[in-house]
Structure 1
Amino acid sequence: MIVQILGNVRYPITLDPTVWIFDDRKLTYDEVFNPSAVSETEVEDSEDEIKRKSLRFDREIYQQKINPPVNKSINRYEKERILKETFLMPIKPFIHSSEPEANVEEVLLVTNNGEHTLNADRFADGLLLFSKNGKPLKEDGPVHLYFSDETEQQSPITGITKIILQ
């Protein structure tokens, strides 16, 4: 259940998607692909969300991205959300942390079903699905690659175990 970032990077990284559920950077499937489906309770909770994002931004600027932002305390709404929602994580912060070489143009994704090559800039805009209906992706995981600029019907790349920057 881990994903490695390797290749032309200064710092190879091993990611554990099972802990992303506690990361503030995660997005719900509806937030990405169906933003008009945001319910009224989510709008009411948006004030807390704005405060949390503001604190996260301040923390990132202050710490220069040394530590990933993690929820310090989880309220009841968040607990219920974690157990029911489908979540995606932007890949860009992890690619940035690995410090890729300037000549990286392609990304090779090693999956359970073979290999896929993508443009590095396109890949950096991707989102990794790591939780479906509150459960980690065990059968065809650990992560699936989606792009937010496409529709829900897109066919993701599934079973990604290694990300090799070339």
Structure 2
Amino acid sequence: MESIVMLSGNVKYTITLDPSVWIFDDRRQDLHTYFHEQQEEKDTLEEYTKEVSKHWDREIIEGAVVPPTLKTEKKYLKEELLTGTFCIPFKPFLTNAEVSENAKNLVIETVDGMVTIPLTVAEKMVLGFSKDGKPLREDGPIHCYYGDGSNYENPIKNVVSFKIE
């Protein structure tokens, strides 16, 4: 099974998606909690500014010494990555591909056939790429979940490619 998935069609740039590296992506989210938590758009500049401010405040108060809690946080993060089930939003990939204004649908090609969905639904979609810390080898490399979680129990599996029409 090929783990590379192409996003092509009515786009300015054809994008190659490699789910095997998404585990290192900061946009990854826990799939088990994704549909249960309130999703909100994040302002990355504002988030970065707050994080830098928090770090600056900590250095002023505590000095440049690494607090002992950071070691346990790293251990927890490693444990989470080795056992977690993760997804990533699909919208950034559509943005990078620069979808044409006249495009209407996303065609998901699977081993079993084609699934066509409107682009408005595709923009809210998330792509599952890991289950219990392992890549989706048997019915992957990607599982497609609608943004509202309506197909959480039965996602679109065995994805071969995405095509914008």
Counterpart residue number, 1:70? none
Counterpart residue number, 1:80? 79
Structure 1 spans left out of the alignment, 5+ residues: 37-52, 59-73
AA in 2 matched with 1:107: L
Aligned pairs for 1:146-165 (under 5 A) are 146-151=145-150, 153-165=152-164
Judging changes above 3 Å, is the alpha-carbon distance between structure 1 residues 98 and 153 closer, same or farther for their aligned structure 2 residues? closer
Counterpart residue number, 1:23? 25
Judging changes above 3 Å, is the alpha-carbon distance between structure 1 residues 57 and 112 closer, same or farther for their aligned structure 2 residues? farther
AA in 1 matched with 2:47: S
Counterpart residue number, 2:35? 33
Judging changes above 3 Å, is the alpha-carbon distance between structure 1 residues 119 and 151 closer, same or farther for their aligned structure 2 residues? closer
Counterpart residue number, 2:102? 103
Contact 2:108–2:161 under 8 Å retained in 1: yes
**What percent of counterpart residues are identical?**
38
Contact 1:33–1:151 under 8 Å retained in 2: no
Q: Number of residue pairs matched?
A: 136
What's the Cα RMSD here?
A: 2.5
Judging changes above 3 Å, is the alpha-carbon distance between structure 1 residues 57 and 15 closer, same or farther for their aligned structure 2 residues? farther
Structure 2 spans left out of the alignment, 5+ residues: 39-45, 52-72
Question: Taking structure 2 as the reference length, what is the TM-score of the superposition?
Answer: 0.75
Q: What is the alpha-carbon distance in structure 2 between the residues aligned to residue 78 and residue 2 of structure 1? A: 26
AA in 2 matched with 1:12: T
